């Protein structure tokens, strides 16, 4: 699969049997819809806690950032915010293919999780922390 941000070929990384596509060039990561649900399940969370449909229903983010095309269907993705302090701007395919996190966003997620460790986290934050754990090792 090609990176929606820089068009490089992405590599597959595996964490807890969940496969994510990762661009080593821009450090972004793509989540297939099924992988997101699988992850929620493995964490013992309700599949609906952070479903793609729920994310697709969130309000559009107001941003000057350019819209990206879904690496699966090629359609323009919607931008929306998840998480808090700071919110993370993600791209979501409205046809339900998956989600895209930019490399800089993963960095924000890691910081956010470090700040939250030890406190009670909701499903959204647990997902973000899972991502943070996966990509922490890479500078």
Span interacting with Zn ion, options 14-22, 33-41, 70-78, 124-132, rule CB under 5 A: 70-78
Q: Does 24 bind Zn ion (CB under 5 A)?
A: no
If DSSP states are collapsed to H, E and C, what string results for 87-117? CEEEEECCCCCEEEECHHHHHHHHHHHHHHC
Smallest separation (angstroms) from Zn ion to the CB of 82: 18
Span interacting with Zn ion, options 14-22, 26-34, 80-88, 106-114, rule CB under 5 A: 26-34
- Of residues 65, 47, 43, 45, the one with CA closest to residue 55: 47
Dist. CA 93–CA 98, nearest whole Å: 6
Binding site for Zn ion (CB under 5 A): 3, 5-6, 23, 25-26, 70, 72-73, 93, 95, 97
């Amino acid at each position: 699969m090609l990176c929606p941000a820089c068009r490089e070929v992405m590599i597959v990384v595996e964490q807890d049997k969940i496969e994510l596509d990762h661009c080593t060039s821009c450090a972004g990561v793509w989540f297939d819809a099924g992988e997101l649900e699988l992850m929620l399940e493995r964490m013992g969370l309700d599949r609906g806690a952070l479903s793609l449909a729920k994310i697709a229903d969130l309000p559009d983010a107001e941003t000057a950032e350019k819209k990206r095309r879904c690496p699966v269907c090629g359609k323009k993705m919607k931008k929306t915010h998840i998480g808090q302090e700071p919110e993370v701007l993600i791209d979501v395919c409205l046809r339900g293919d998956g989600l895209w996190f930019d490399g800089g966003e993963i960095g924000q997620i890691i910081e956010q999780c470090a700040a939250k460790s030890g406190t009670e986290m909701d499903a959204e934050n647990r997902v973000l922390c899972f991502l943070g754990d996966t990509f922490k090792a890479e500078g």
